[in-house]
Amino acid sequence: MKYTLNQLQIFVAVAQTKSITKASEELNLTQPAVSIQIKNFQSQFDLPLIEILGKKVYLTDFGKEIAISAQEIIDQVNAINDKMKAFKGQLFGRLKISIVSTGKYVIPYFLSGFLKENPGVELSMDVSNRGKVIESLEKNEVDFSLVSIPIDGNNYEYMELLNNELYLVGNPELLSQNPGFNQKQLPSNLPFIFRESGSGTRKTMEYFLKNQEIQITKKIELMSNEAVKQAVIAGLGYSIMPIIGIKNEIQNGSLVIIPHQGLPITTQWKLVWNLNKKHSPVSEAFLQFVAQNKELISKKYFS
């Protein structure tokens, strides 16, 4: 076996993006260069690592195992480099975070000061729905995740950051057409707009509707908070949304909060990590930074 660290890095990028094109963009290489290195890497194994159907790359079972081992080797090499730099009094390395989609309105404010203080730290952040965020934690692929609802089980530790409030919102013109809201049933002439299954916001909404015995006669399901927001602004229906993602729309009048029994729903934005996780110097430093600055950040940006 004569594979190189560069080949391992390229193979991992292809495995993660499932695309030669996306991997080449991520690595700042040409597509032919990535293809050649993957071919050279594959030539050192008797079993196939990937299958290419159309433009999409699929890992074989053997390829998935090699991708895991390759990532572990890369992590070890990075750790060696980080330790060398740490002896020089510098903080270097990569901070890996997965966040639920609404978390994009929260986490940048907790990262900004830390990254400015530590220019040698690289950030890798995946924005997805709650189900995939939990999966990344279970696989120990990230240092931290950001969620607004606690995860089932006792395998995690948490640090609370700030409140997450959800309100019933709608288009102001539609609200004027429906001045009276029945506390047990929303207007039946328009649908209620949900996030997709696996979303934390969806889970919160469903719990609220069940608890309040509210009947939904029509339903639309969309894949992101932004899509839900635009649909509500356009007058397609109503939804329950985190206030943190719609402040501008409330202020400019394109959305209005509809008073309703049991609202707002209040959850907590939490930084979460695996129980007994061995933090890297970078993740340990970030945890300390957040603990020391979270109240100031919350007051400055979210009061």
- The DSSP result for the chain, as a single string, is ----HHHHHHHHHHHHHT-HHHHHHHHT--HHHHHHHHHHHHTT-SS--EEEETTEEEE-HHHHHHHHHHHHHHHHHHHHHHHHHHTTT---EEEEEEEEGGGGGTHHHHHHHHHHH-TTEEEEEEEE-HHHHHHHHHTT--SEEEESSPPSSSSEEEEEEEEEEEEEEE-HHHHHH----BTTB--TTSPEEEEPTT-HHHHHHHHHHHHTT-B---EEEESSHHHHHHHHHTTS-BEEEEGGGSHHHHHHTSSEE---TT-SEEEEEEEEEETT----HHHHHHHHHHHHHHHHHHHHHH-
Report, as an integer, the average pLDDT of 206-215: 86
Q: What is the pLDDT of residue 270?
A: 95
Into which CATH architecture does domain 1-89 fall?
A: Orthogonal Bundle (1.10)
Look at residue 67 and tell me whether its pLDDT is greater than 90.
yes
- Where residue 185 falls among pLDDT bands split at 50, 70, 90? low
Q: What is the pLDDT of residue 214?
A: 82
- Report d(CA 112, CA 78) in Å as an integer: 23
Of 24-33, 64-73, 85-94, 236-245, the range with the lowest mean pLDDT is: 85-94
Angle value at C-alpha 204, between 203 and 210, nearest 5 degrees:
90
pLDDT at 41 over 70: yes
Task: Tell me the fold of 163-266.
Answer: D-Maltodextrin-Binding Protein; domain 2 (3.40.190)
pLDDT tens readout for residues 232-290: 999 999 999 999 999 999 999 999 998 888 899 999 999 999 998 989 889 999 999 99
Domain positions in the chain are 1-89, 163-266
**76 band by pLDDT with thresholds 50, 70 and 90:** confident
pLDDT of residue 261: 83
Residue 184 has pLDDT above 60, yes or no: no
Nearest alpha carbon to residue 3 among 11, 63, 72, 22: 11
Q: In degrees rounded to 5, what are phi and psi of residue 196?
A: -70, 160
Q: Is residue 88 very low, low, confident or very high in pLDDT (cuts 50, 70, 90)?
A: low
Average pLDDT over residues 21-26: 89
Among 55-69, 75-89, 140-154, 225-239, the range scoring the smallest mean pLDDT is: 75-89
